[in-house]
Amino acid sequence: MISTTGLVGVAAGVPYVAHRPAGAPQAAPLVVVLHLMDPPRSEVAMAAALPLAGVPTWRAYLGLPMFGARTPAGDPEAFIRLGYQDALLKLLGPVVEQAAQELPGAIAALRQQLPGAVGPLALVGGSAGAAAVLLALAEGPVSVRAAVLVNAAVRAADVIAAGERIFETTYRWSDAARRLADRLDFVQRARDIASRLPQPGMLLVNGEDDDPAFPASADDLYEELSARWWSPAQLERVRIPGLAHALAEEPGLDPAPQTPGAAQVDEVVGAWLTRRLA
């Protein structure tokens, strides 16, 4: 279905909005984008925040489980209550795990539904969406030419610690939570990510004004991957001055004007993807 926000559909149960490549070539690469749990926290809002309009590819923005079109019972604040109940075991973990599990089927369906989307694949994720990308790279079967991680939740423990600082709460760690945090610690899992063939090009983008734990963990991941990549030149990292964690203003559910920080991310990521997918 065509809407003002792009081509709207469902790919293997995952809602998406997609934009055609400029010039409508017969064959084009496919860029699949996963949004944040912070703004933009829906597929249509992410498409507005990071349109990647200059990239000559199909751009498909998938909705995360429990967000966007899949908000529980149409309640946009349901994720907040789940976060208070158990931010890792009831919110972050299930969202990241399900999003990663859904990726192969959604990508296969997108290639069927989007005319000419038969070229190389790139994955782009923001925060929790980036964690889902990393989990798919560590465990999934998808062959990826390039991956972009924006303010990535590289370590689940970073997300929990940031939430403790923001909401002035104390998270009660359980054995199950620690096991899940280990699974979602992608610095520890760098060997799993590096073991996939072919190794994709990767770009790590972080805001200078984000919670310090996020760029610090991204740096740790960069160093661990660099030690294991056949061609370390395929790995790049960028800092965006003035960018905090979010890529849009609250509430981040609907398409909104692009913020200055998101515009910088859009420019950097778009140029990098164009080079990598040429």
Question: How is domain 2-277 classified at the CATH fold level?
Answer: Rossmann fold (3.40.50)
Whether the per-residue pLDDT at 34 is higher than 90: the answer is: yes
Q: How far apart are the first and last CA of the chain?
A: 29
In tens, the pLDDT along 165-177 reads 988 889 999 999 9
What's the rounded Cα separation, in Å, for the pair 110 and 65? Answer: 17
Domain assignments of the chain as residue spans, ordered by start: 2-277
What is the SS3 string spanning the chain?
A: CEECCEEEEEECCEEEEEECCCCCCCCCCEEEEECCCCCCCCHHHHHHHCCCCCCCCEEEEECCCCCHHHCHHHCCCHHHHHHHHHHHHHHHHHHHHHHHHHHHHHHHHHHHHCCCCCCCEEEEEECHHHHHHHHHHHHCCCCCCEEEEECCCCEHHHHHHHHHHHHCCCCCCCHHHHHHHHHCECCCCHHHHHCCCCCCEEEEEEECCCCCHHHHHHHHHHHHHHCCCCCHHHEEEEEECCCCCCCCCCCCCCCCCCCHHHHHHHHHHHHHHHHHHC
Would you place residue 3 in the very low, low, confident or very high pLDDT band (cuts 50, 70, 90)? very low
Tokens read off for 249: 């203003």
What's the rounded Cα separation, in Å, for the pair 242 and 240? Answer: 6
The residue type of 269 is V
Asked if residues 12 and 109 have their Cβ atoms less than 8 Å apart, the reply is yes
Q: What is the mean pLDDT of residues 130-147?
A: 95
Would you place residue 28 in the very low, low, confident or very high pLDDT band (cuts 50, 70, 90)? very high
Q: Which of 206, 262, 197 is nearest to 238 (CA)?
A: 206
Asked if residues 38 and 11 have their Cβ atoms less than 8 Å apart, the reply is no
Output 22 or 108, whichever has higher pLDDT: 108
Asked if residues 42 and 253 have their Cβ atoms less than 8 Å apart, the reply is yes
Q: What is the mean pLDDT of residues 65-69?
A: 89
pLDDT confidence of residue 2? 43
Whether the per-residue pLDDT at 109 is higher than 80: the answer is: yes
Residue 131 sits at the vertex; the CA angle it makes with 104 and 253, to the nearest 5 degrees, is: 90
Mean of all residue pLDDT scores within the chain: 93
Whether the per-residue pLDDT at 145 is higher than 80: the answer is: yes
pLDDT confidence of residue 77? 73
Whether the per-residue pLDDT at 21 is higher than 60: the answer is: yes
pTM summary value: 0.95
